[in-house]
Amino acid sequence: MTGINQKGRYGKYIQLILTFVDFVILNTAFLITTHISPEFVIERARTVWFMANVCYFPVAYLMRHTQTIRTIFMEHVLANSLKSVCFYAPIFVCGLYFIQIDNIPWNVFAEFYGLLLIMLPLWWSASRLLIKYFRRRGRNFSKVVIVGANPIGRKLYREISSDIGFGYQILGFFDDAPQTDGTPPGTYRGTLDDLETYVAEQGVDEIFCALSGEKEESIKRVLKIAETNVARYYYVPQFARYVNRNYEMYAIGTVPVLSVRHQPLSRMSNRLIKRAFDLTFTAVVLLFSPLVFIPVAIAIKTSSPGPIFFKQKRTGYRGREFWCYKFRTMRVNSDSDKLQASKDDPRKTAVGNFLRRTSIDELPQFINVLMGNMSVVGPRPHMLKHTEEYSRLIDKYMVRHYIKPGITGWAQINGYRGQTEKLWQMERRVEHDVWYIEHWSALLDVKIIFRTVYNAIHGEKNAF
């Protein structure tokens, strides 16, 4: 990795600097609030200011790990900054209540936290970009060596080398029996016998051990060398050769257990967040729903005989069946549970065509969300016949049922909605659904909703 010539004397102070600026942001927001809301300047204003700072210390302590990781993903940084504000809010309010200050108007709190929700995420994002900027110029990096010049070691080398902004300087490989095919030229430094001397002389910060688990003695030896030289030690398991997705590590007693499918919604806290969002968003939609539901109902009844709503059994969470509701867009027919709607489907009514193009026909599914068998965002629920067919044809098809189905989803905003005439179309939809399950976040849900609304306004070629 060229362009790196010095480690930088102040790298160890980065976390302290970041935290210090957090407090600067906090106090700036406090000062602005006192100017826009003079009622904030109460008799015990200094005490309130003191508590505002004291109550942020536990937040800074608990979130410190988000400021020290070397691989920086901006969506994680943004999410963690928002979590910090949400975590700080109840601590500050409880702290004021504890010292018996309860005469601050709620609009003042709204202004204060509103400023923090804008300023802190901006600062965290800007600071991480600044760190990456300096790392690309040879500052704030860690010297690392990789033990194991095997396929996993080389794969790790490629990942680390893909972005110098990660802040790593790879000094080379060590291996008693190096597999030189594919190893970058000039990177082999010697055997394990040479490792300890090299680590001490070069001031290595981190050692990544990519040896096979069968080489128990060698792994223990590398660990001892790392501990003796106060270098951080990481073991790279061999399953990385065939596991190319996010995963989670657990422990049952002292035995590590690997979950090869990372599912954020397997955590109760995340499920509660998603459900709270579903109920809040649905409540707002249903509050204004008569403005749309009444004229749509009249149009459907006058366009063709039959019910206003169409209900169909579909596959939901954990493969359970449920009744999914929609506005009826077709004439009553016997093939509704067998055939998907096509572009020029003769079963559709003129009103139904409009409802489908604008996705208004999906609005009754907010009732499903309220009932708890759907979410606002998630994999689209399929009719039972399709579940039966595609579960035999497509690998990981049933994985999409690990979470509740949604009114809209990641696959839909990426163009995989509507009719699936060919198998590859459903395969791509399943791939996107599985990706969503493994990468869920509240911010991702918000993004999907905005994209859905945008697509509905501008029209979608597959909306028929």
Give 72-90 pLDDT, tens digit per residue: 566 677 778 888 888 888 8
Residue 4 pLDDT exceeds 50: no
CB 147 within 8 A of CB 222: yes
- Predicted local distance difference test score (pLDDT) of residue 7: 47
Is residue 246 very low, low, confident or very high in pLDDT (cuts 50, 70, 90)? Answer: low
Tell how strand 309-315 and strand 321-327 pair up.
antiparallel
- Predicted local distance difference test score (pLDDT) of residue 244: 55
Residue 136 pLDDT exceeds 60: yes
User: What's the mean per-residue pLDDT of the chain?
Assistant: 83
Of 237, 47, 229, 18, which is closest to residue 129 (Cα–Cα)? 18
Mean pLDDT of 444-451: 92
Look at the pTM and tell me if it is higher than 0.75: no
Mean pLDDT of 326-351: 76
Residue 283 pLDDT exceeds 90: yes
Mean pLDDT of 432-449: 91
Of 106, 13, 101, which is closest to residue 51 (Cα–Cα)? 101
Least confident of 8-17, 26-35, 379-388: 8-17
Give the whole-number percent of the chain exceeding pLDDT 90. Answer: 34
Residue 324 pLDDT exceeds 60: yes
Interior angle at CA 352, CA 351 and CA 358, nearest 5: 95
- Predicted local distance difference test score (pLDDT) of residue 215: 87
Residue whose entry in the numeric block shows the structure tokens 């595609």: 390
Of 301, 319, 317, which is closest to residue 405 (Cα–Cα)? 317
- pLDDT tens track for 383-425: 998 999 999 999 889 999 999 999 999 999 988 877 777 888 8
- Reduced to 3 states, what is the DSSP secondary structure of residue 199? helix
- Predicted local distance difference test score (pLDDT) of residue 6: 43
CB 124 within 8 A of CB 78: yes
Of the ranges 148-152, 194-198, 210-214, 233-237, which is most confident?
A: 194-198
Least confident of 6-15, 103-112, 148-157, 230-239: 6-15
- Predicted local distance difference test score (pLDDT) of residue 9: 47
Q: Say how far apart CA 136 and CA 82 lie, in whole Å.
A: 27
- DSSP bridge pairs for 143: 169
Least confident of 46-50, 322-326, 360-364: 46-50
Q: Say how far apart CA 148 and CA 235 lie, in whole Å.
A: 11
Cα distances (Å, whole numbers) of residue 323 to 227, 279, 363, 457: 60, 19, 14, 28
Of 259, 263, 213, which is closest to residue 236 (Cα–Cα)? 213
Q: Say how far apart CA 308 and CA 311 lie, in whole Å.
A: 10
- Predicted local distance difference test score (pLDDT) of residue 290: 92
CB 330 within 8 A of CB 342: no
Q: Say how far apart CA 432 and CA 411 lie, in whole Å.
A: 5
- Predicted local distance difference test score (pLDDT) of residue 70: 54
- Predicted local distance difference test score (pLDDT) of residue 269: 85
- Predicted local distance difference test score (pLDDT) of residue 129: 79
Residue 343 pLDDT exceeds 80: no
Mean pLDDT of 153-170: 80
Is residue 169 very low, low, confident or very high in pLDDT (cuts 50, 70, 90)? Answer: confident
Q: How close are the terminal C-alpha atoms of the chain, in Å?
A: 52
Task: At 233, list the tokens.
Answer: 């030690």
- Predicted local distance difference test score (pLDDT) of residue 165: 65
In terms of DSSP H, where are the helices of 171-320?
192-202, 216-228, 268-288, 290-303
Residue 278 pLDDT exceeds 60: yes
User: Which residues neighbour 360 within 8 Å (Cβ) at sequence distance 6 or greater?
Assistant: 292, 296, 327, 354
